[in-house]
Amino acid sequence: MTKIFKIAKLEISILFYSPVAWLVLAIFMVQAGTGFFGMLGSFQELFMMGEKANNLTQLLFPGINGLFDKVLQTLYLYIPLLTMGLISREISSGSIKLLLSSPVKIREIILGKYLAILYYALMLIAILGIYCLIGVLIIKDADVGLISAGLLSLFLLTATYAAIGLFMSSLTGYQVVAAISTLAVFAALKYVGGIGQGIDFIRDLTYFLSLSGRTEKMLNGLITSGDIIYYLSIISLFLGLTILRLKAGREVKAPAMQAGKYVALVAMVLLVGYISSRPLNILYWDVTAQKTETLTPASQAVAQKIHGPLEITTYVNLLDQHVYAGLPVSRNTDLSRFEDYRRFIPGIQMHYVYYYDATDLANNPNMIYQGDIKGLTIAQIAKKVADNLQIDMKDFLPPAQIHQIIDLNPEGNTFVRRLSYNGKTSYLRLYNENNQFPEEAEITAALKKLITPNAKIVFIEGDDERSITQKSDRSYELFSNARKARRSLINQGFDVATATLNDTGVPAGTTILVLADPAQPLNRQAIAHIQQYLAAGGDMLITAEPQHRAVINPVLGLVGVQLSAGMMVNTDKKSPPDVISAKFTGKNNTYFGHMDGPYASVAMPSAARLTAQKTSFTIDTLLQSNASSFNKIKPFDPSSTSVSYEPQQGDTKGNQPLMLALTRKMSGKLQKVLISGDADFMSDNLITQAYNFPFINGIFRWFSNGSFPVTVSRPAPKDDAILASRKQLSVYKMGTLWALPAVLIACGAALLLIRKRK
């Protein structure tokens, strides 16, 4: 070790007797600080304008254009300048022969030179540490763990770059060639992850070698054993290659034996990398203050209840527009979507089934690349797609074979995953959004569905109720049964079905029965079945419109509620008179926390006032109109800009109940019935309103006692303010962008002058 430190000390002195080392430090400091203080100034202006922002540590450091992100974009340019002469200058000057013939081991030479570069890397990290310290001082409740993980990640990356540069310097006596070759290796390691992605074993090895994306998790605060071992393995690989390269100049051995040593070293590193990257072998450490890189406690609780194998089978249709997401070339990216869950469910088994079958080709953007497909059979179209994607069509099952395995017609033969555990199944789909893939809420809901009793919602049909299968302004399809809508009930853990009660009773297993604004009177048998269901303690949701008062009141009478005559009028001139902005007034806010805000309201067009008679239920008003609205008895024109209040005609002004929640103890459980005097607030054309969809989810969360939809929210980050004034920021900026770089350059100049005089 003594010799290693002496060599390192000598290299450090050589490094700092050169102006390059001092200039790199100064330029690095200015470049890093310019962007950092620019973002600080932007956020300070934002706060001065009265705007709010939280998670400042994330935004200012690993976030887009943050300090760490900016450094990451240019760090690879600095290292070749420092490493290009480590060994190449020895080769060009001939002093390498003296080194190789000296009583110093080659391993000690290489480690000494590498230790010198690590010392310089620590100086670069120390410069970043100055900005990090400023951030900790001026950001309220800064996330120190996140910052520390980012510094560690950048240090390991710099150390890896240095090992690569050291090896490239040993291959040539020309420093410029060594620098360019180092950049070439950086590029190769960045893109090697795309090689051999169609072959399982090769894909795993090249994905391990790839530098691309390696820093992302650690920069965001998640330290994993896989990433640490990766950096250490790549460092060991290139240091080992450098030692072998120099030993080849000292030893005379057969070329085959020398080549064998290189192969053995590479094979050993790849084996370590392969083993360390297996999900079961990875250790995790989330150092963020809010544990943002770990599943929420709600998701962890679900995951920890799954013991044994959990099979996730992905069905990939060659003719589907999302086919590329499921192909082998995208496998590692696809597997990473479940990495957070593998930490808690080690028994996840991923399977992929490839097939081709009829799907919605008219709206498939991939078809524009296939040329004219009119008159072609499904098999012929599939052949064209396979040829254009350069994949073997033999890997895809034809329609007849996939039908024997599973019926995917209800899913439209689109990209879908089936989760299987202990005989139960659930599905994960892709959505018509910018981010098409399921996130934590949807994945956790699908998992929870496997370990809890089914939550089955049955919509009554047969009397012109709101449809859940047809798309229209009046229908309920989007929030309930739309497979491509992320927040629809079918994607949030519920089973959704329809039933006609005119001949048969309520289907067995129904947990929530929905009567959605029937336009035709229900027959006596259907009402009797509903009465029987309610008498047994079943939960029910009823929505109605004023024009269907005569149709719905016989059903509402079963629970002692009626739709009053007339329709509510909104007196706010900024919106139509028939659209009520209903305020949440429920006593139990457990499932409706999003309705607390002063501007939170549910848009309810053509709403009717509800009245309750003496009943065995406890009644809670969930939504009511504001004090200035009134119930208009006579019909009015919804397009009118002014609707008059006529108390002599029976009009009633003030807060009126528009939605009631009825509860009572029945058979050892709390029976729940919810009645709405408006049915449009759940319709496809209204749920896009700011609070309507979240409120609907709150309703079904209330019905399911919080089971579904799953809540995966986190506490708001506390780092939401900058504690420094503009003047203080200017002082910090002047000190780091001008004073310290000037001191570095002055120190370098002074050292060079002293050396010249000597």
Q: Mind listing the pLDDT tens digit for each residue in 15-40?
A: 888 888 888 899 999 999 998 998 98
Sheet holding 669-676, edge to edge: 494-499, 455-460, 512-516, 539-543, 669-676, 657-666, 618-624, 579-584, 602-605
Q: Specify the range with the lowest mean pLDDT, choosing from 35-44, 247-256, 561-570, 575-584.
A: 247-256
pLDDT score of 514 more than 90? yes
Whole-angstrom distance, CA of residue 432 vs CA of residue 669: 38
**Using one digit for the tens of pLDDT, what is the confidence trace for 278-316?**
777 888 999 999 999 999 999 999 999 999 899 999 999
Alpha carbon 175 to chain centroid, angstroms: 44
Q: What is the pLDDT of residue 200?
A: 63
Higher pLDDT, 427 or 367: 427
Q: Check: CATH 3.40.50.880 for 453-638+654-703?
A: yes
CA-closest candidate to residue 454, choices 444, 467, 441, 445:
445
| Domain map (residue ranges) of the chain | 2-289+726-757, 297-421, 453-638+654-703
Q: What percent of the chain has pLDDT over 70?
A: 96
Q: What is the pLDDT of residue 264?
A: 87
Whole-angstrom distance, CA of residue 242 vs CA of residue 108: 12
SS3 143: coil
Give the confidence band of 272 by pLDDT, cuts at 50, 70, 90.
confident
Whole-angstrom distance, CA of residue 746 vs CA of residue 12: 18
Question: Which helix (H) or strand (E) covers residue 86, if one does?
Answer: none
Segment 318-333 mean pLDDT = 89
Give the residue carrying structure tokens 């391993």.
107
In total, the chain counts a number of residues equal to 758
Name 459's bridge partners.
498, 514
Whole-angstrom distance, CA of residue 642 vs CA of residue 627: 17
pLDDT score of 744 more than 90? no
Q: What is the pLDDT of residue 186?
A: 82
**Using one digit for the tens of pLDDT, what is the confidence trace for 341-363?**
999 998 899 999 999 998 888 88
What mean pLDDT value characterizes the chain? 88
Whole-angstrom distance, CA of residue 235 vs CA of residue 189: 13
**Using one digit for the tens of pLDDT, what is the confidence trace for 609-635?**
999 988 889 999 999 999 889 999 998
Higher pLDDT, 83 or 550: 550
User: Which phi and psi angles does 185 have, rounded to 5°?
Assistant: -65, -40
Pairing of strands 561-563, 610-612: antiparallel
Amino acid at site 318:
L
DSSP assignment of 29-50? HHHHHHHHHHHHHHHHHHHHTT
pLDDT score of 608 more than 90? yes
**Using one digit for the tens of pLDDT, what is the confidence trace for 498-509?**
999 987 889 999
Higher pLDDT, 700 or 753: 700
Considering 82-91, 116-125, 166-175, the range whose residues carry the highest mean pLDDT is 116-125
Per-residue three-class SS string for 619-646 = EEEEEECCCCCEEECCCCCCCCCCCCCC
Segment 479-485 mean pLDDT = 93
Peptide bond between residue 657 and the one before it cis (omega within 30 degrees of 0): no
pLDDT score of 522 more than 90? yes
How many C-alpha atoms does 589 have within 13 Å on its Cβ side?
Answer: 9
